[in-house]
Structure 1
Amino acid sequence: MSTEPALMSLTAVASAIAEKRLSSREATQSCLDRIAKWQPHLNAFMAIEPDEALRAADAADAALANGRRRGPLHGVPLAHKDMYYEEGRVVTCGSRIRRDFIATTTSTAVQRLKDAGTIRLGSLQMAEFAYGPTGHNAHFGPVHNPFAPDHITGGSSSGSGSAVAARLTFAALGSDTGGSIRMPAHFCGVTGLKTTVGRVSRAGAMPLSQSLDTVGPLARSAEDCAVLLGLMAGADPADPTAVAGLVPDYAAATAEAMKGLTIGVPGAFYVDDLDAEVASVLDATIATLKREGAKVVQVDLPDQRQLSGAAQLVLAVEAAAFHKRWMIERPQDYGAQVLMRLQNGLAISGVTYLETLRWRGPALAAHNAATAGVDAVIAPVSPVPAPTIAESDVGGGPGAEAVIQRLTRFTRPINYLGLPSLAIPSGFTRKGLPVGLQLIGRSFDEAKLLRIGAAFQRATDFHEKAPQLPLA
């Protein structure tokens, strides 16, 4: 078994540092060594800060030696999607427009992880302004999948998915507005949590869609995601949409068994037109859930196509509203595909937008009624494994748009409803591409999803499989 610290899980490395079996410098240097080897193949990082990271690691080790432990993640090195503001740091948001933007504040989510003791390795690549599902970026190049570098990572949290999968960081923040945490988790073989709207503060995170944006982690396991969510969740004076009240003990939930829970399998939409290997993984996962004690039943959900269309409409209008000034003043500084998508939002009427927002309540009520007898719903994240970078490049041919539209069919409805969803590694194709499935829960019941995910991961080892460094 390898003793390379970077291959440890977030919870394992945090415990090792706290117990002084491993230093923060050793953990940080291990990550930096892997970054140096993998970055030329992946393009996962926007910025790498080795000297600062090692200084911070030494400071963390010195503090611990003097009995000062900052928190449960003391000395753990992390990197996050380059849309989370950190005071004094350049935050590009994956764009030309903000390539020199220096943040004057720190996002609440990042600050809470820093308060827990984490240190910074650098920042991670992303789709331009988080508006793309594949991992392409017209300004900084595509991010590559560690399991197959000519294939996509998924987006928009492309660098987060790639870096976590390649064991370059123990975890990373992503964002999910239309699937941008769950798709990289699926395509890259990591665990990703899309939180309920309002569960984690969005203050200091680049906005895309005020109604749909959510903050969440990508990590090696459900257990790791639970620790991160517990640290970040809760009310925030800087974000009035962040929900107040008691934050559940998510870490404790991951220790519970699956026995006694009921999991629903959709009878349509999420099981239609699946790639054969994705369908096979779904069947195998259902069998595992049953063996672990869960009851599995069919559920008949309301028309998910309407929900998907509603999510696209809301996203288009809200993104266009945020970008309107730059579209007028700096259209040449956008990538062609992102500019086209933003301009499309300007053509949607205010009446249509408001009607779509008003329908959200009844749609959520209908979903809750349809799932009243289950604890969670299981479904594929995407109907296909990762396509190649070339076949999903809109500049490479007319078929790319159809490929892209298919990728996001199964994620958008959940964003419109504002529900939580946990993507878990569930298998691999014959060619070695990861396949993930998503557990869809009730509002603010992330604990149930993490419980199921952790129990599944105790029974399987898909989440433990690391990619091999590509040949030069």
Structure 2
Amino acid sequence: MTALYYKTIAELAPLLEKKELSPVELLQSIFSRIDDLDSKLNSYITLLRDEALESAKKAETEIMAGHYKGQLHGIPIGLKDLFYTKGIRTTAGSAILKDFVPQYNATVVERLLGAGVVLTGKLNMHEYAFGATNENSHFGDAHNPWNFDHITGGSSGGSAAAVAAGLSVASLGSDTGGSIRTPSALCGVVGLKPTFGRVSKYGVVPLAWSLDHIGPIARGVEDIAIILEEIAGYDPKDPTTKNKPVESYRSELFKGIDGLKIGVPMNYYFDDTHPEVETMVRTAIQALQSLGGEIVEVTIPELALSMFAEIVTISSEASAYHHETLVTNAVAYGDDVRLLLEGGELFSAVQYVKAQQARRVIQEGFKRTFQQVDVLIAPTVPIMAPRIGERQVEVNGKFKDPVMEFVRLAAPCNLTGLPSVSVPVGLSSSRLPVAMQIIGKPFDESTILRVAAAYEKEFPLNLMPIE
């Protein structure tokens, strides 16, 4: 029987609604799990024991009185520590903000609390979200629950580790160069980067304004749909959000994929991929074909511009945000983040403009490709989780920087704003998770989640790293 802390929202919500499970009992299960494991995982920066218990008791009273708000009512969720939480410190994983207490909630936080979520705390992250390992010199490294010596990936590493190990039922993360999808892949959970403009960024510490996306991390695809329905939608406080109706993502989930055209990239995404990753992702693609998907091989030569456009854009925009602090208090940053920010100051306006032109070219490449297919499928990351501190990994006889490899496969969707969901496809021979990403057309989260749900239903992994 699955332990409470490993159950999904979709499993827990009916129990809470029918009053067969108390929100307080569920919260106690989560905090007991935190007490048992977080000394090893270091997934939380701030725990909210008293506040969470008060919220759980309130949810219990409401549900017992017949005022059930929906599937998130009474669900314990921790948040990546860059979402503004009123009266609760928000550090962004940095010593600079270690005592910062916002006066208001981020829009997505306000929506989750309105839905009855019980906030358990704020989760570990790479400093200012500018990194892909979640090695943090201020609050300590986050550790992968599949092997404590390995990284979680970043920057939403605490979120992915907590969800994977049962220390939070789900979470929210941010994704600027893979920061939801990479840790989700490395920790064996599901992570969605929605379309740019689908979810509000108001009240979220930025990394790079034009690349930042907000999305959910969870143990199952249905949970992703449940959370997305709650947090998606236009926000007048965020001018980048689009005034488009929010779909009922759950109602579309289980319609199957018969006749859907599934694009398999013949260039870029499978280049220099670890053999086990390639084999497992291609096996997953074959499985989708057996479920009715039509496989179409595609080539997108424009992807060759991705790393130039991503590095110049993310570095320039991050350095613009941090410029004054970098000039006056550079020593307050961790060495890795400071070096990245200082490097961002060196890019010229000409390079930045050329990077934006490259983005347009990449967008056109995807637009042409999506005239032929409904979704694209590729590895989320080309390798398994490296060890903490490991700066080079060998792939097919070549030595690679793992961070650059993570960003390489994530960047195209950040640059274009296209939605992408990472779904686990199994464990490597070293018992580390492997994942595929399903990429879709703008604002077509329904289709990529439908493909993810079809795979998950046929091949339920429900990976549990620690009993």
Between the aligned partners of 1:429 and 1:199, the Cα distance in structure 2 is 34
8 Å contact from structure 1 (residues 113, 232) kept in 2:
yes
Between the aligned partners of 1:442 and 1:81, the Cα distance in structure 2 is 27
Between the aligned partners of 2:210 and 2:353, the Cα distance in structure 1 is 12
User: Which stretch has the larger CA shift, 9-18 or 450-459?
Assistant: 9-18
What secondary structure is seen at the aligned counterpart in 2 of 1:296? strand
1:308 aligns with 2:301: no
Give CA deviations for 1:300-333 in whole Å, capped at 9, x if unaligned. Answer: 1123231221011111100000000110111110
Q: How does 1:65-464 map to 2 (within 5 A)?
A: 65-392=64-391, 402-462=401-461, 464=462
8 Å contact from structure 1 (residues 263, 297) kept in 2:
yes
The CA deviation at 1:74 is 1.0
8 Å contact from structure 1 (residues 153, 386) kept in 2:
yes
8 Å contact from structure 2 (residues 133, 154) kept in 1:
yes
8 Å contact from structure 1 (residues 302, 370) kept in 2:
no
Between the aligned partners of 2:13 and 2:324, the Cα distance in structure 1 is 44
TM-score (norm 1): 0.95
Note the residue ranges of structure 1 that are not aligned, 5 or more in a row: none
What secondary structure is seen at the aligned counterpart in 2 of 1:344? helix
Alignment match, 2:42: 43
The CA deviation at 1:274 is 1.2
Q: CA, structure 1 residues 342+186, in 2 after alignment: closer, same or farther (shift >3 Å)?
A: same
8 Å contact from structure 1 (residues 301, 371) kept in 2:
no
Look up the equivalent residue of 1:103 and give its one-letter code: P
8 Å contact from structure 1 (residues 312, 412) kept in 2:
no
User: Which stretch has the larger CA shift, 69-78 or 269-278?
Assistant: 69-78
The CA deviation at 1:390 is 2.8
The CA deviation at 1:286 is 1.3
8 Å contact from structure 1 (residues 422, 449) kept in 2:
yes
What secondary structure is seen at the aligned counterpart in 2 of 1:156? coil
Between the aligned partners of 2:45 and 2:279, the Cα distance in structure 1 is 36
What secondary structure is seen at the aligned counterpart in 1 of 2:426? strand
8 Å contact from structure 1 (residues 176, 194) kept in 2:
yes
Query: Percent same amino acid at aligned positions?
Result: 39
Between the aligned partners of 2:229 and 2:222, the Cα distance in structure 1 is 11
Note the residue ranges of structure 2 that are not aligned, 5 or more in a row: none
The CA deviation at 1:175 is 0.4
Between the aligned partners of 2:389 and 2:326, the Cα distance in structure 1 is 28
How many residue pairs were aligned? 463
Look up the equivalent residue of 2:203 and give its one-letter code: G
User: Which stretch has the larger CA shift, 294-303 or 79-88?
Assistant: 294-303
Following TM superposition, the consecutive aligned residue runs of length 4 or more in structure 1 with deviations greater than 4 angstroms are none
Look up the equivalent residue of 1:120 and give its one-letter code: L
Between the aligned partners of 2:405 and 2:360, the Cα distance in structure 1 is 26
Alignment match, 2:464: 466
Between the aligned partners of 1:337 and 1:431, the Cα distance in structure 2 is 28
Between the aligned partners of 2:92 and 2:418, the Cα distance in structure 1 is 25
The CA deviation at 1:401 is 7.8
The CA deviation at 1:384 is 0.5
Between the aligned partners of 2:399 and 2:162, the Cα distance in structure 1 is 25
The two structures, once aligned, show a CA RMSD in angstroms of 1.6
Q: CA, structure 1 residues 34+94, in 2 after alignment: closer, same or farther (shift >3 Å)?
A: same
8 Å contact from structure 2 (residues 362, 412) kept in 1:
no
Look up the equivalent residue of 1:169 and give its one-letter code: S
Between the aligned partners of 1:22 and 1:121, the Cα distance in structure 2 is 18
Look up the equivalent residue of 2:46 and give its one-letter code: A
Q: CA, structure 1 residues 250+465, in 2 after alignment: closer, same or farther (shift >3 Å)?
A: same
Q: CA, structure 1 residues 86+401, in 2 after alignment: closer, same or farther (shift >3 Å)?
A: farther
What secondary structure is seen at the aligned counterpart in 1 of 2:372? coil
